[in-house]
Every structure is written in structure tokens, then in C-alpha cells.
Amino acid sequence: MAKKTVADIDVKGKKVLMRCDFNVPLDDNRNITSDDRIVKAMPTIKKILNGGGSLILMSHLGRPKGERDDKYSLAPVAKRLSELLGKKVKFVDDCVGDQAAAKAKALKSGDCMLLENLRFYKEETIKDKAAKEDAQLRQAKDDFAKKLADMADIYVDDAFGTAHRDNASMYTVPMLMKGKPRVIGFLIEKELKFLGDTLKNPGKPFVAILGGAKVSDKIGVIENLIGKVDRIIIGGAMAYTFLKGNGKTIGKSLCEDDFIDKGQELLKQAADADCEVILPVDHHVVRELAPGVQYKTAVGDIDPGFQAVDIGPIAAQTYTEKIRDAKTIVWNGPMGVFEIPPFDTGTKAVAMAVAEATDKGAISIIGGGDSASAVNQLGLEDRISHISTGGGASLEFLEGKTFKCIEILDEK
């Protein structure tokens, strides 16, 4: 997708409406515990402000279910933005309405303001399919989007984390701004470059590492990667749907019985495409999952009454060896219940192997979510080529899906 970016347009004297992903984690006192998403938006923000534009930022935070809930307010984000920019970022207590429109109109060149959480309005998350089928919903979504669109001369999308969603701010607003410049920011440009180039022209061996709970979440990814990658390494609870299909006893381990046949079908497709699929041969298992619980290592079958919570040491060593010579690596999903030590050892081993391969010249992409959290917790982020800001979006990209909210933006 060769889309125009903020570098391709003149923003001087213009009002710029920019969709960001400021869905940052907050503690119980509403302090930001990681400002990574804010920091990654700064290059685009600075480009617009330094270019003489006045900037209206919009985002969602959490899932307030279409009504105001102050625990999801973006006020802490405005404070952090002001600190990072070294200048006051005005915060508007609403995202639409007379107050927001008046403050947007009053902005001068170089000014920046942040609108309150878009998801305080249910209209933001009305799905386009529902809007097409229900004239009342369509009108509500259009009316909400028009209030946002009318604030600005230019639309910028730099929210990769929601690029797979047809939210009003992501799709309806730029549709209503047709005829005005509609471009992407530097963060989305980087995401598209890394993910797109990797799938189009990967260095070989190309290794995909997939973890997490459900095979059903990854079917499309696996189908799209078979034929592109040389190896698929599978960990996490999703492995047990494959292993049960292979005739293994898996005890109480999580398994999607409805997808056992599909799992076997995928393994056959991979074998036919000469794509190696590596499953764990040993496992850390427990009777009940809880912090500090005693665990044992099971090789092969898992006894009744036990559930797997991490890959075992043999699997960790095998996975490390299968990653070591990779030239391209895509990783999405942990190897176990990594948030409860010591069931993070498999994920740690994979993270270290990916970092070491990157040190030797491999291109590595972490697909957001729990994998990104694991890498950050281990302090390995500087040894990874690219950590995506969009877990769900990067998964859909790896499935080969297109994002219509980006497709409608201006071509170079």
C-alpha cells in the first residue's frame, strides 16, 4: 500500500485531525504504566506542529461501552503529551459538540489539543455492516463522524492498533473528508513497510512463531503463512489442539475440540508445502494454575488431572535451535502462561533466541500483544527489528487481509 504520508503534504496554516492509538495501560490511580504508544506517535505529531499545522488528536482508551466513564478518560494522556512535547496540549472534555468545535476553531499554528475518549460515544464503534443494514444506525454513525470531520482540513491516520476496525474515526471520518488530504502517519508507514516487505520478500529461512490460547484465532495466519515460511513453531495452549489430533494424551490442557480436524488439515497442508511444523515434545504441567504452585515436567503424554502451562526444557532448546539460523522471524503469542512465573521460561527462551538471531542480522517482527509485553519485560526491545503496536491488526495483516480504512486514504 503506497500511501501518502504527512511528509508528502503541506500542513502550514491547516487544521489537522489525527487518529492515534493512545490506548495505554493505567494503574488504579490512573497513572500511565507504559507510554510506548504515545512516544511512537511523537514523530508524526512533531512533523505536523513543526510544519505549522494546528493539531487535533483523537483516540480511544479501553472499552467504556459507549458511555462516559472517567476511569477511561484521556486526561492522563494529555498530561504526558505535554511533558513529551515541552508545551501545553489542550485537553477537551468531550470529543464532539460545541465546546470541541469552538476549541478546534480557535487553534493557532503550532497548537495541539486532545479530544476526550471517542468510545464515550457508542456511535464510534457501530460496525459498518450494521450501519448498512440499519438506516438509523447509519445516520447516527454519520452524524457523529461529521462532527469530527468538520473540525479539520486534513485527516491523518497513525493508529495501527485499530487499523483493522471500521470505527467511525477510522473509516467514516476520512470517507466524509473525501477531497481533502487524507494520509498516514510515520508509525503506520513503518508498520506497513515491515509487515508488507517481510511477507513479500523474506530472507530465508523464514520462521513463524505462533503461541497463545486458541488455534481458532490463528487459522487464517497459518493458512496464509504455509507456502511462505520454512518453519512454523507452535507453543501456548493452541499446541494441544494439534497434539490431541496427533493422538497424544493432553490431560486437562486447554483444547478446542471443534478445531482438532482443522488442525490436522493444517498440518497436512504444511507437509505438502514442505513447511516444517514444530510442536512441543515436553511440557511444564500443574494440577491447578496458581502463583507458586508446584509443577513437574511431562515428556510426551500428559497425565489425567494435569494441565500444560508452558513448554518444557527440551522444547525450549529445540525452538531455540530452530530460530538460531533464521533470516526472517515473525512472532505472535507466548509459549505459556508467561505472566505467572515460573511458567515464563519457554517464552523467555524464545525471546532470547529471537534477539540473538536479530543480533546476527535477522529481521524480526513481534506482533504486538503478549509477545511484545514479554520482550519489553525482558528489556530486549532494542534487539528486535520491529515491535508492532497492533496485536489484532498485525494478526489480520499476517492473514493477508486488507484494511479498508487505510485503502481509502490517498495514494502516492
Distance of CA 114 to the CA centre of its chain: 22
All cell numbers assigned to 156:
491523518
Helices (H), 64-209: 75-85, 98-106, 128-133, 135-149, 173-176, 186-200
Task: Tell the residue number behind the cell numbers 489484532, with chain if given.
Answer: 392
Q: Where are the beta strands (DSSP E) in 20-175?
A: 54-58, 90-91, 112-114, 154-157
Specify whether 37 is catalytic. Answer: yes
Cβ-based neighbour number of residue 91 at 10 Å: 20
Q: Which of 47, 122, 214, 248 is the catalytic position? A: 214
Helix residue spans in 51-124 (DSSP H): 75-85, 98-106
Judge whether 369 counts as a catalytic residue: yes
Quick count: other Cβ atoms within 10 Å of Cβ 170? Answer: 24
**CB distance 236 to 213 below 8 Å:** yes
Q: What pairing do the DSSP bridges indicate for beta strands 307-311 and 282-286?
A: antiparallel
Q: Is 383 labeled as catalytic in the residue annotation?
A: no
Catalytic annotation present for 161 = no
Q: Exactly one of 14, 37, 182, 228 is catalytic; which is it?
A: 37
* Helix (H/G/I), strand (E/B), else coil: 17: strand
Grid cell listed for 111: 497548537
Q: Of 346, 369, 390, 391, which residue is the catalytic one? A: 369
Active site residues per annotation? 37, 214, 369, 392
